Structure 1
Amino acid sequence: MKKTFFILAVFLLIIASGFSFYHSSAVEATSFKTKLEYKGMNLVAPIKELKNTTFDELKAHHINSISLIPYAFVDVENASVHYNNKRQWWGERTEGIRASNQLAHEYKMTVMLKPHLWVNHNFYTGNLDFSTDAEWKKWEANYEKYILDFAQLAQQENIELFCFGTELGNSVAKRPEYWLQLIHKIKKLYTGKLTYAANWDDFDKVPFWDELDYIGIDAYFPLSDATTPAVADLNEAWQQHILKMEKLHTKTSKKILFTEFGYRNSDQAAKEPWKENQSGINNLAQANAYKSLFQTLTQKKWFAGGFAWKWYADAYHKEPKNSIDYTPQEKPALETIKKWYQ
């Protein structure tokens, strides 16, 4: 009898130990979440002024960082770059960037300064090209002045992160020496952290990641053709892109930052997130796409977080009501973001 009780006790102990191990392993597997450095939003520049209410709303949703975007305009025919134009919105010009940064710092937020180029409607900057070396050199001199002016501003205003280029794949591929010398000039002016925003389809071809603090990706990866993609299906679709990012992380030992990521509240929101060609309003598709991104990427220690596209500083995003747009404001996706940013 004693022997029977002893065997039974040992059996129960083994079962209990196995359950304990399984339970703790399962919890560990599902509860790991990397600490995001940047719980960010790309801020659409205010037209005239930036109000405290904008930052009150950002803080209420656990956003700890914003991206400020001083746009410049490219005249392709003259191979020139123009910025700080008085016709531009206040928030895109130097005075607006300075004031916006100061207000962000008052709210204990970090800031990324991210210059963007605008060529013309529906022109992708990654395709920017010139037929002669003289044209390239003229454009590069213009672009360098634009970037160094804002690098100096970033240094003066203690801006924590500077992104010196956005989706300029053809230029980077054809003129790598130009970009290396530009990085060295930036570093002489600016002592904060440095990144570049590569497009999702060419981030592994950028030759200068070793010179920077983060691998920056505008992360509009294609994931699903479904009208309303399921989170589980999106999670599976992410894996091919994650493998590519992990390979680059292993090669460079650099963390990966999503300088942009986002989805419109439309049908097929995750099919080609960089396009604006879907017309059916679909808030669930947008929310599911955000949820999947956070579920998959926050499992990776190399993921530094990123900046969602986009947050309007002005109230005009409310007109017309229920329109399709990237902003998660007043949409279910915002609660998803808030949860994961908490």
Structure 2
Amino acid sequence: MKLKKIILKLCIILPLLVICYSFYKSENKTNSKTNSKTNIEFRGMNLVAPISELKNETFEALKQNNVNYISLIPYAFVNLSQATVSYNHSKQWWGETSEGIAETIKKSHQYQIQVMLKPHLWIKNGLYTGNLDFATEKEWEKWEENYEKYIIEFAELAQKENVVLFCFGTELGNPIAKRPKFWFDLISKIRKVYKGKITYAANWDDFEKIPFWKELDYIGIDAYFPLSDAITPTVSDLNSAWQKHLLKIILLQQKINKKVVFTEFGYRNSDYAAKEPWLENQSKINNIGQANAYESLFESLIRKEWYAGGFAWKWYADDYYKKSNPIDYTPQEKPALQIIKKWYKER
């Protein structure tokens, strides 16, 4: 009986020791590098598309804040009852259409800013994309045919306009879990028309479950990790909270042997900014909470040699944000922008 108990304890302890050792190796390897190194590949912003006109001031402001990549998002809309994906609507903002995306890429390149093209879905009834589902095989096949057309069209545009990075999906946990073959086939089809780098934007809570990471060039994560229940969390406490998430990322990264890019990360300038960063349910302005959350993310990630950088959510191409809700993800005209500018500076 005692031997069985010892064996049982070893079965519990040994995997934990392996995990901790892997984390230690990664941290030790990172810390052996110079602590001043912040020359990450992607010092990015997710750009909210211009409504109708692309302004030079947008790119000038991005350059002033040391941004070297933008993510452009050609939205498409899912009609669940018809199992369709539609895009390039006449009522869409110009910057979300194929024409607007192409023009924005050209303008971006004029300012020596590179591009990640990142198609997003919007489900008309407000359903979270990760829960997208259909009842029948016929519906799934119709939706997949529509989605493939959408993605391949923008992959071809990405190739034509010399886009460096193409992200072919965002937070689609259930469709990937239920229909993995479709996604492997889609990746193969993308490779035939687009010769740049490819990633996928997994949600923070399911990035370990994605089956096709080895087929891509980067592990992509929308990094809205829950970190603190505090109204105004301190940088120190947030740094400690990051460790459990970093451990999971490191284990996957070592298994797949691909660098990690945060396809989205960001915090609202509100109370509880780091509690559930994906929610927009707080109504009290807290610029310090947002700034602390950004500071901690950069302190915790930016010197990891496996971290390729990421794209902050979000930057408005138009200035209408000044007239809307003063609580928003954008760091524009907030203390958080100085944090970003500081860490995005090449060293």
- What is the TM-score when the length of structure 1 is the normalising length? 0.90
Shift of 1:29: 7.9
What is the DSSP-based 3-state SS (H/G/I as helix, E as strand, rest coil) of the residue aligned with 1:198? strand
Aligned length: 315
Match of 2:101 in 1: 97
The question of whether the paired residues in 2 share the 8 Å contact of 1:224 and 1:271 is answered with yes
* Residues 1:341 and 2:344 aligned together: yes
The question of whether the paired residues in 1 share the 8 Å contact of 2:38 and 2:344 is answered with no
Which of 268, 281, 286 matches 1:282? 286
Q: In structure 2, do the counterparts of structure 1 residues 299 and 121 end up closer, same or farther at CA, with 3 Å as the change threshold?
A: farther
The question of whether the paired residues in 2 share the 8 Å contact of 1:33 and 1:299 is answered with yes
Shift of 1:122: 4.0
* Residues 1:55 and 2:55 aligned together: no
Match of 1:8 in 2: none
Gaps of 5+ in 1: 1-26
The question of whether the paired residues in 2 share the 8 Å contact of 1:79 and 1:138 is answered with yes
* Residues 1:67 and 2:54 aligned together: no
Match of 2:306 in 1: 302
Shift of 1:35: 2.5
Please say which structure displays the higher CA radius of gyration.
Answer: 1
Shift of 1:49: 1.2
The question of whether the paired residues in 1 share the 8 Å contact of 2:294 and 2:336 is answered with yes
Which of 324, 327, 330 matches 2:330? 327
The Cα offsets for residues 223-258 of structure 1, whole Å up to 9 and x where unpaired, read as 000000000000000000000000011001100000
Which of 88, 95, 98 matches 2:92? 88
* Residues 1:256 and 2:297 aligned together: no
The question of whether the paired residues in 2 share the 8 Å contact of 1:34 and 1:300 is answered with no
Letter in 2 for 1:156: K
Match of 1:17 in 2: none
Which of 5, 12, 37 matches 2:41? 37
Letter in 2 for 1:49: E
The Cα offsets for residues 249-292 of structure 1, whole Å up to 9 and x where unpaired, read as 10011000000000000000000000000111000000000000
The Cα offsets for residues 188-232 of structure 1, whole Å up to 9 and x where unpaired, read as 000000000000000010000001000000000000000000000
Mapped partners of 1:110, 1:163: distance in 2: 14
Q: In structure 2, do the counterparts of structure 1 residues 29 and 103 end up closer, same or farther at CA, with 3 Å as the change threshold?
A: closer
What is the DSSP-based 3-state SS (H/G/I as helix, E as strand, rest coil) of the residue aligned with 2:66? coil
Which of 233, 236, 249 matches 2:237? 233
Mapped partners of 1:94, 1:227: distance in 2: 41
Mapped partners of 1:83, 1:222: distance in 2: 32
What is the DSSP-based 3-state SS (H/G/I as helix, E as strand, rest coil) of the residue aligned with 1:118? strand
Match of 2:144 in 1: 140
Mapped partners of 1:154, 1:201: distance in 2: 29
The question of whether the paired residues in 2 share the 8 Å contact of 1:34 and 1:303 is answered with no
Gaps of 5+ in 2: 1-30
The question of whether the paired residues in 2 share the 8 Å contact of 1:228 and 1:282 is answered with yes
Letter in 2 for 1:294: F
Letter in 2 for 1:146: Y
